[in-house]
Amino acid sequence: MELFINQVLAGIATGAIYACMALAVVMIYQAIDHLNFAQGEMAMFSTFIAWQLMQWGVPYWWAFLLTLAFSFAGGIAIERMLFKPLAKAPILTNVAGFIALFAIVNSVAGLTWDFTIKQFPTPFGSSPFLGSQLISTHQAGMIGVTVGLLILLYLFFQFTRIGLAMRAAASLPESARLVGINTSWMIALGWGMASAIGAIAGILIAPVVFLEPNMMGGVLIYGFAAAVLGGLTSPLGAVVGGFLVGVFENLAGTYIPGVGNELKLPIALALIITVLVLKPAGLFGRPIVKRV
C-alpha cells in the first residue's frame, strides 16, 4: 500500500508538468481550433530566454516577468507574421506550418545555446515537501502554480469582456464579427496567451527535466495526450487529464511487469485511446452535435 501511495504521489508530481503543458495546448486550441505542434518548442525557447536573462544577472522574478512579456509579444508576432496569411489555407497546410515552425525554433535554439544540458534554478527550493521524499517543494510549488493559473484563466474567460469576446470569436467567428468583435486580433491574443502559459510551463518544468533544446519533446506528447484525454474544450479537463496521465504512467511502470521506461509512453497512449473510444469527446469535453 505504501508503494502504491508513493507512486501516486510521484505520478501527481510529474502530472503537474503535463497539466501545465496541456493547459497551454487547450488555450491555443480554444483560440485557433488547431493543435499547435510547435507549442513545446516555443515554451523551450522562452525558457532559454529566462535562463539567458538570469545569466546576465537579472533576478529570478524579473527574468520571469520579462520572459512572460517576451513570450506574449512573440506569440502575437508569430501569429501575425506566419499564420494570419495562412488563415484561409486548408487545415492540413496549417499543420505543415506548425511543423516548419517546430524545425525552425528547435534548430535556432540549438545553434544559439547548444545541446548541452543546463541547470535551471527554482524559486521554491528542492527540499522534501511535508516530509515526503517523493514530492519536493518545487513540485508542490508547480502544482500550486498550475492550479492558480487555472483559476485565473477561469476568471478571465468567465468574467472579463475580453474573455467573453475570445470565447465568442472561437465558437462562432461570423456571428462574433457581426457584433463587432475583432476576431482576427482575438486569435492573435490567444496565441500570445498560449505562448505565455507555455513559458510558465517551461520555466516550471526546466528544473526537473533540465534545460536543453529537446527538453519539450516528451513533455509535449504527454501534454497533448492529457489535453485530449480531458477534452480539448475544457481547461479544467486538461489539468485533470495531466494529473491522470502522470499517475497512470507511474502506476503502469510499477505494476505491469515488463513495462520499462521504454513502454511507458505507448501504454499511456493506449489508455487514452481506450478512453477516447468509450468517450470520444474526452472526459470533460462537451460532445459536438452535428447538423447537416
Positions touching another protein (CB under 8 A) are: 30, 35, 82, 85-86, 88-93, 95-97, 99-104, 106-108, 110-111, 167, 170-172, 221, 224-225, 228, 232-233, 262-263, 265-266, 269-270, 272-273, 276-277, 280, 286-292
- Start-to-end CA distance of the chain, whole Å, equals 53
The least distance separating another protein from the CB of residue 270, rounded to whole angstroms, comes to 7
In this complex, which beta carbon is closest to another protein, that of residue 103 or of residue 162?
103
In this complex, which beta carbon is closest to another protein, that of residue 3 or of residue 290?
290
Residues ≥6 apart with Cβ < 8 Å to 181: 165, 168, 169
In this complex, which beta carbon is closest to another protein, that of residue 85 or of residue 128?
85
The least distance separating another protein from the CB of residue 38, rounded to whole angstroms, comes to 9
CA distance readout (Å), 126 to 93, 112, 203, 255: 44, 29, 15, 28
C-alpha grid cell for residue 147?
492550479
Helix orientation angle between 137-159 and 161-171, rounded to the nearest 10 degrees: 80
The least distance separating another protein from the CB of residue 66, rounded to whole angstroms, comes to 24
Backbone region of residue 210 per phi and psi (left: phi > 0; alpha: psi in -120 to 50; beta: other values): left
The least distance separating another protein from the CB of residue 101, rounded to whole angstroms, comes to 7
In this complex, which beta carbon is closest to another protein, that of residue 2 or of residue 262?
262
